[in-house]
Amino acid sequence: MSEQQPNLPDRQGDAHASAPEAAAAPEDSGMGSVPVDQGRPLLELLKIAGPSVATMSSYTLMQFVDTFMVKQIGPEPEYVAAQGNGGIIAWMFVALALGTNTVINSFVSQNLGAGTPQRGSAYAWNGMWLALVYYVGIIVPAAILAPYLVPDVHSPRMQELEIGYAKILLFGAILTIASRSIHHYFYGLHRPGVVLLAAVVGNLTNVLVNAVLIFGEDGMPMPESAIGRAIFAPIGGFAQWIAGGLGIGAMELNGAAIGTVVGGFVELLIPMALFLSPRFAREFGTRAAWRPDKAIMRDIFKVGWPGGMMMLNELICWGLLMAWLVPSGAQAMALAEGAGPDEVEHAGTIANTAGWIALRYMHLSFMPTVGISIGAQAMVGKAMGMGRPDLAHARAMLALKLALGYMGACAVLFVVLRSDLIRVFINSDTPPADIDAIVRVGSLVMIAAAVFQLFDAIAIILSGALRGAGDTVWPGVATIILSWTCIVGVGLLLIDLAPGLGSMGPWIGAAGYIVALGIVLGVRYRLGAWRRMSLVHPEPAQGS
């Protein structure tokens, strides 16, 4: 595949001229662009990225609360591990559609910068039409085949939990894909507050439904800590009252999955209500653009499929890491030490649980950075629509500085507080030997995560900036090559050649992947091919 992405086709399939580099162009390039205040770039970035960061942080908080509730089900470590494994199985099938539709942000923002924001509405609608096709053709069959998707290295009980959790998420995935598609429309329109409101209300709904369905009329066991009781006592009491009134029994892990689906439905309803409102219909033609348009779908897929493949590939590789390589590494170490069959199986469960707990904290680090990246994508897209790659570069570098500062601080906390952070997600009734083992393994994973934090910041921000300009193919190919080489290849090699590393062998491979990806995307961005790209279709000639 060529390193230089070609110019994108217009609606008729003919090549159009790329945006000028225009380093010395005036603020208004004559393309009907929206003026940008260059005197306050940080304020502009915070205005766009702030709500996006808050949205991603709310998702992270929801994951924390979800996992905290799940660990209250019982002392067995299988619940936390099964939630993580079942979730990543479901997300592997959702990822292609989600990743592809992220370019709705780029199309909408570039048309906003070019002074043609009305064109963005059709991209939102057609993203949702693509989501429906993808759901019927791929996700529903995956839900039916879920029992065949779980690794046989897990215990029968964990497999049962994983299958139930994954099936519910898959059947409800149409809501997730549709909501993310409309979210990217509002990101591209530089109105991220709409997405923030939807995410917060959706997440609160998820927490309440979780509390009702996971524990039923028996009620949620209260945490031992005073802070935990203060947070969960009001929610737990209200949820128990609802469950008792409706006669709902404890659904355990399946209840958590249903809560996620219901929260996703709320996240779709709120932005759709505004999208279809009379005001938006007048200003942006949102109601008139509902019909499926093959040319627009082709635009979305042509530009978006590399991002979709990038997300799908990463989830496959991370899924293999978490559900197969990490427990396999721990089991190889136990076998080398002469452990019996039950001890070997249990070692895999311990490593899997510890890895998922550590990954929750990695989400705390990279999800807000993803929010900054979404803002950077929208800002770069707008600047490129104005014909201002110089302005796009300045905004990308500002976003990168913020991300490096934040993730660098997270790296320090990961090392200093590693043991205490891991203990947060361990049920107090878990056997002491298991607690010690989970804390020991999880602490090592936290150190590995600290090593790659700055490189992760570079990869996340520059990936968003390149996507905002329309540069999606090259980063996608690089991601696929590096993830399979490092996460899977190095992980398997270390399990075979250095079983004494246990589950840390695969984690070393994962850390190497993120370091390499940050370096490669940094080089790609520096070479500057993105400066000559455009997603804005030319205005039709008068009288044509």
SS3 at position 226: helix
Q: What's the pLDDT score for residue 12?
A: 29
Q: What's the pLDDT score for residue 537?
A: 64
Instruction: Report the percentage of the chain scoring pLDDT > 70.
Output: 91
Please check the confidence at residue 494 and state whether its pLDDT lies above 90.
yes
Q: Which position has the higher pLDDT, 170 or 309? A: 170
The pLDDT tens digits of the residues spanning 17-57 come to 333 233 333 333 333 333 444 557 777 777 777 887 887 77
- Mean per-residue pLDDT, 180-202: 90
- Mean per-residue pLDDT, 81-107: 88
Distance (Å, whole) CA 431 – CA 484: 37
Structure tokens at 387: 């014909």
Q: Which position has the higher pLDDT, 116 or 151? A: 116
Q: What's the pLDDT score for residue 141?
A: 94
Distance (Å, whole) CA 435 – CA 146: 31
The pLDDT tens digits of the residues spanning 407-439 come to 999 999 999 999 999 999 898 889 999 999 999
- Mean per-residue pLDDT, 93-107: 88
Structure tokens at 25: 């162009």
CB 384, CB 49: distance < 8 Å: no
User: How do the domains of the chain map onto residue ranges?
Assistant: 41-532
SS3 at position 2: coil
H-assigned helices in 247-277: 253-275
How many CB atoms are closer than 10 A to CB 484?
Answer: 16
Q: What's the pLDDT score for residue 115?
A: 85
Most confident of 12-21, 102-111, 128-137: 128-137
* Residue located via tokens 């591990």: 81
Distance (Å, whole) CA 324 – CA 484: 14
Please check the confidence at residue 508 and state whether its pLDDT lies above 60.
yes
Q: What's the pLDDT score for residue 119?
A: 87
Query: Angle at CA 515, nearest 5°, toward 382 and 2?
Result: 55
SS3 at position 417: coil
Nearest to 23 by CA among 293, 337, 355, 393: 393
Please check the confidence at residue 226 and state whether its pLDDT lies above 60.
yes
Structure tokens at 505: 């062998």
Q: What's the pLDDT score for residue 538?
A: 62
Q: What's the pLDDT score for residue 542?
A: 44
The pLDDT tens digits of the residues spanning 49-91 come to 788 788 777 777 777 788 888 988 988 878 888 898 888 889 8
